[in-house]
A and B are shown apart, each in its own frame.
Chain A
């Protein structure tokens, strides 16, 4: 049976649980996950998707019902925004996977 080495490492480390955490570095700064290219892509795309998501949510709330009801190409803006949210989610996911796995 094939065993994931990451899981093996996790298992090995779990067998010796630490009594205390890592000592604080001299400069007070730990290695940051944000220094990786993958993290920058993750959070950049996450910020973009968050903006799209909440803009769509706000525009389809009661306060902006008139805006959402505006007809564009024969369809209400609210419907177009909903489809746009789904498509942007798919595109952002694809970009993330292609950039992170590249």
Chain B
């Protein structure tokens, strides 16, 4: 078997994840522990876990890989991922944390009664969670099958799914938090190590040298599009070392002097409408991602939630800046290899394996193993976050609140664990079915649907006193339908629908439609719920303090 050292490092990492899950089993005796770790996770650990929860395979492998192929334009995804967190901390984190207990549905229920609202949150939560979980497993299957072909796609998907279920079922939220914090350190450390080694070994200890050099390089995709690939590959073989690869990269400018450089913006971006739809989906997407928001409840109060979120934002800022430098370094140091893969039509393989190949070039099998462990950590941390959110949604909002309020603690934990196993099986099966689907499209679609459902519902619930119960239902239903319809239209290859162009992301239609539906329905109805109680609980810190409630 090739890559035995790398596989061993990966195995050690996965064994550690497994051990943490088993070790945390002692705490999963109550529902409060299983769902939100009893609200006792330290804010620093929670901040790292939130970073890890969010920095999925798309962030760790996809962003840097896409920059390596297409240049600086693909950095926009990272900027959107980062900006979304600022939105969360500015307008949602504190009021949501103060108003709820376990889930986003709890926060809604604090203001509005009615089982239909809880049912809609379950449907939307499961839809978004599953659509986000599947690409994590698909990504794991493809990546590790490419790098370790002895185990095929299906086995890797099953391994990733099985590990996800074990970590969640055994450890609950506390085990998940410890695992995600550990995985966050691996993800951040691997990206930092790649950057430092690249700068020290090839850019004279100067990170800005990466920018200077990449400004004199034409991206591999443009080289292939201009039929210059053969000329470069005939001079510089695929197996070139880093120095020769950089020479190959520089020669691209000599061959194509009129082409824009890797640092030139606007070369690979779409038109204005598509760009706006994408950035809107990213901007509001996190506000509507329950698996991210649930982490606001795992710390003891709103202050800790805010500190966690700020730590996450700082980590993401550094991480996504590093992805730009690592992506550009990968472009130059792997230039012949990437050009050859694109020339063969294997753009996906080139994108997903660029970071791993950079690790192999800079640190041999040891660094390859660390990068693989980082990739698996990124995949698992997002997957376990999604799974525990869905488990909590079904077991708490569905079983405990709607079906069996009289159930015992033991029964509730048991249902949560069974739900975790069932949902994992569903996701693994879907990952087999959707094996050939584009992972980035699935993730982007999830952001668009989240921005069209949970985001407008939560924002209007938390901030608008005239928002009514009927408005909640209308927002959920219209947002979900519009975003799903335009998503399916995109997949089915339609160019227009109802006279509107079908865009890369459904957010530009879903978000305004959802807000409009909620506003119109609210203005036509009167049931604003317990608005005075809710607004004071969520916002009135002075009033809460007077009434003996933590200001948070």
Contacts and interface: CB of A to CB of B under 8 A. Distances in A.
A11 interface: yes
B539 A82 contact: no
Interface string A49-61: 1100110111011
B101 to A, nearest CB: 5
Nearest to A43: B91
Interface stretch (B125-133, B157-165, B229-237, B275-283): B275-283
Contact of A19 (B83, B113, B275, B541): B113
Nearest to B279: A57
A58 B85 CA distance: 20
Contact of B529 (A21, A31, A97): A21
A31 B83 CA distance: 31
Interface of B is mostly: helix
Interface string B503-528: 00000000000000000000000111
Interface in B334-373: none
A13 B549 contact: no
Interface in B533-549: 533, 535-541, 544, 548-549
A97 B314 CA distance: 13
B203 interface: no
A33 B539 contact: yes
B398 interface: no
A60 B94 contact: no
B265 A2 contact: no
A1 interface: yes
B442 interface: no
Nearest to A1: B38
Interface in B108-147: 109-110, 112-113
B187 to A, nearest CB: 18
Contacts of B535: 30-33
A10 B537 contact: yes
B45 interface: no
A46 B271 contact: no
Interface string B461-473: 0110100010000
A78 B87 contact: no
A11 B463 CA distance: 22
Interface residues of B, number: 80
B168 interface: no
Nearest to A47: B90
A22 B300 CA distance: 29
A62 B39 contact: no
B539 A46 contact: no
Interface stretch (B10-18, B72-80, B478-486, B490-498): B72-80
Contacts of A61: 266, 269-272, 275-276
B536 A57 contact: no
Interface string A1-22: 1111111011101100111111
A53 B317 contact: no
Contact of B271 (A45, A62, A94, A100): A62
A97 B265 CA distance: 33
Contact of B536 (A31, A66, A79): A31
A60 B90 contact: no
A68 B79 CA distance: 15
Given A1-B40, A33-B95, A85-B79, A57 B550 contact: no
B263 A33 contact: no
Contact of A46 (B73, B90, B538): B90
B416 interface: no
Contact of A5 (B40, B272, B549): B549
In the A-B complex, the 10 residue pairs with the closest CB atoms: A65-B266, A78-B265, A68-B265, A33-B539, A30-B465, A61-B275, A57-B279, A89-B86, A21-B529, A5-B550
Interface of A: 1-7, 9-11, 13-14, 17-22, 24, 30-34, 36, 38-39, 42-43, 45-46, 49-50, 53-54, 56-58, 60-66, 68-69, 74-79, 82-83, 85-86, 89-90, 92-94, 96-97, 100-101
18 contacts: A6-B537, A13-B110, A14-B109, A21-B528, A32-B465, A39-B463, A58-B275, A64-B266, A68-B266, A69-B265, A74-B212, A76-B264, A85-B82, A89-B82, A89-B83, A92-B86, A93-B313, A97-B306
